[in-house]
Structure 1
Amino acid sequence: MTQRALSGLEPLLALLRPLLGAVAAYSGGVDSTLLAFAAHTALGPRALAVTVRSAFTATCDTDLALAKARELGLNHRVLDLDVWGVAGLPANGPDRCYRCKRAVLTPLAALVAPGAALLEGTNADDDPTRPGRRAAAELGALSPLARAGLDKAAVRALSRDLGLPDWDAPSNSCLATRIPTGTALTPAALERVDRLETLARGLGLSALRCRDLGDVLSLELPPDQIPLARNHEDRLSEAARAAGFSGLRIKDRIPA
């Protein structure tokens, strides 16, 4: 670890060292990986990184989180969440993200010992009005990245300097975001989106979203990946029809 990396990490460590322990929400994304690593560095075995696995989680995302936790030597646990049993969540209303975030963080809060803290990975760039932030505040979760003034660019730069895996990975979101708000979520709807995204990644595509528009599947990709998607359009269209869609639409998206 370079001196530059240590200097960049110090503001986070200074926030974490006074804690008697910490439970960090860990999805395996860039933000939560830096947070979990910093908590592990500051607190050692008193820091626990927890990945919540549910029907909203793409299989590849859980696999990645597990692999990174092993690589970094984190004290790590996986908890399974039955999202279908969370009141109001399957209805996919405008408060879905709030209900989901609260459901994810609640079992983590139950693991927090006296004097320890619940940590989550909001960074300084994140919109303060996001519903998930309200849920985090209600449960008393701390957001050390934001408190340390680390925006997304700074998180990526520090993660790169620390040698953390996948520091440049594109931002991702849960499978529920692939279904339009107001359209009820079902296991079948999420499973077919996950299956189609897995196929697309296997063809070399990344930073993608498969949006369920009801009749049509919209495959959203960064502009530089559109040509590759066009090369595989017949196969992707066939898979979309086999999943129950009438057709496939390939669309530009700019990754966050």
Structure 2
Amino acid sequence: MEKINKLNENLFSLKSMLQFDLPIVIAVSGGVDSMTLAYAAHTEFGDNITMVHAISPAVPPKATSRVKLYSERYSWNLTCINAGEFSDEDYRKNPIDRCFYCKKNLYNTITMKFPDHVICSGANLDDLADYRPGLLAAEECNVIHPFVEAGLYKSEIRELALYFGLDEVASLPSAPCLSSRIETGRRIDPNELTMVDKIETVLREIYRPKTVRCRVRENAVIIEFDKATMLRLDKQTKKHIHGSVLSIISSYNCDRVVSIETYQMGSAFVHKKNICST
């Protein structure tokens, strides 16, 4: 009963934070947070809500397919855009605060396309404890974070998704953009991002890991699996994975050493505090 009461309390708080005089635009990435927010907002306010999804080499195609599928299923008003971050040299240089330039381009594009709208994101309280340059861009663009305002953590958002019947969404693992796989300071190359997505997709489909990351460094491609998956990969399996990854990167003219390691959050990210959820 206590859990149900808490769920209802969270839902009431979220709906309260979505009360605006202006129409709402929700930036939907395809992850659990923004998808749950989109569902909740549309259920409450219907056609007064517009979902905006940015399509770029940094966005996994599977995320785009998911957004389009749910938009059709639930009759969301969806607009897909090119946010233009790949035309921004500050973004392409892949600095420590790359996420700032990504989000700045996204929110500026949304603002130009939807003037006199309130822009909402799926950021939650957990994000505030992490290094998130994108939140600064959101602040500069007056973006609202309903989950933050309602005091919700990611675990509570997953519970809301289950409550809404969005079981697949509720179980989605954290999935930062593909550019997060590229070591800080290494120029963002769309071709490399396509390679990263292909490798992760193949490994995910075959080995069903809880977490898999393909990190691209200056002289190496690092495949990272969660601890549980690493424990069940024997020597022969790792050898097969190594060969498969080598074959894929060779097809992209990528000549690097391949290694298989245990997942470390933010291991492609260079920062003095060494924190980033990637």
Task: Give the TM-score, by structure 1 length.
Answer: 0.89
Task: State the alpha-carbon separation in 1 of the partners of residues 110 and 122 from structure 2.
Answer: 14
Among 64, 87, 90, the residue aligned to 2:89: 87
Shift of the 13–93 alpha-carbon distance from structure 1 to 2, 3 Å rule, reads same
Among 218, 229, 235, the residue aligned to 2:240: 235
Task: State the alpha-carbon separation in 1 of the partners of residues 230 and 64 from structure 2.
Answer: 27
1:211 equivalenced with 2:215 (yes/no):
yes
Question: Shift in Å at residue 229 of structure 1?
Answer: 4.5
Alpha-carbon contact 2:213-2:225 (below 8 Å) kept = yes
Number of residue pairs aligned between Structure 1 and Structure 2: 253
Task: State the alpha-carbon separation in 1 of the partners of residues 82 and 22 from structure 2.
Answer: 26
SS at match of 1:203: helix
Query: Please, what is the CA RMSD of the aligned residues?
Result: 2.3
Question: Shift in Å at residue 7 of structure 1?
Answer: 4.9
Moved more, 159-168 or 221-230: 221-230
Aligned to 1:152: 154
**Equivalent residues in 2 for 1:69-218, closer than 5 Å:** 69-114=71-116, 116-127=117-128, 130-164=132-166, 165-206=168-209, 207-218=211-222
Moved more, 216-225 or 173-182: 216-225
1:249 equivalenced with 2:260 (yes/no):
yes
Question: Shift in Å at residue 120 of structure 1?
Answer: 0.8
**C-alpha deviations, 1:45-101, integer Å up to 9, x for none?**
110011101111112221222223333332212112343211311111112110111
Question: Shift in Å at residue 177 of structure 1?
Answer: 0.8
Runs of 4+ in 1 over 6 A off after TM superposition: none
Shift of the 38–118 alpha-carbon distance from structure 1 to 2, 3 Å rule, reads same
Alpha-carbon contact 2:85-2:106 (below 8 Å) kept = no
Alpha-carbon contact 1:49-1:77 (below 8 Å) kept = yes
* Code of the aligned partner of 2:185: G
Moved more, 36-45 or 141-150: 36-45
Shift of the 223–78 alpha-carbon distance from structure 1 to 2, 3 Å rule, reads same
Question: Shift in Å at residue 252 of structure 1?
Answer: 3.6
Alpha-carbon contact 1:219-1:249 (below 8 Å) kept = yes
SS at match of 1:170: coil
SS at match of 1:177: helix
SS at match of 1:125: helix
* Code of the aligned partner of 2:174: S
| Contiguous gaps of at least 5 residues in structure 2 | 250-254, 267-276
Task: State the alpha-carbon separation in 2 of the partners of residues 111 and 228 from structure 1.
Answer: 49
**C-alpha deviations, 1:100-155, integer Å up to 9, x for none?**
111122111223343x3011111122126621111001111111110000111111
Task: State the alpha-carbon separation in 1 of the partners of residues 20 and 176 from structure 2.
Answer: 32
SS at match of 1:188: helix
Task: State the alpha-carbon separation in 1 of the partners of residues 65 and 132 from structure 2.
Answer: 27
* Code of the aligned partner of 2:56: S
Moved more, 25-34 or 203-212: 203-212
SS at match of 1:248: strand
Task: State the alpha-carbon separation in 1 of the partners of residues 12 and 113 from structure 2.
Answer: 26
* Code of the aligned partner of 1:69: S
**Equivalent residues in 2 for 1:5-24, closer than 5 Å:** 7-24=9-26
Task: State the alpha-carbon separation in 2 of the partners of residues 238 and 110 from structure 1.
Answer: 47
Task: State the alpha-carbon separation in 2 of the partners of residues 180 and 254 from structure 1.
Answer: 13
Shift of the 105–232 alpha-carbon distance from structure 1 to 2, 3 Å rule, reads farther
Task: Give the TM-score, by structure 2 length.
Answer: 0.82
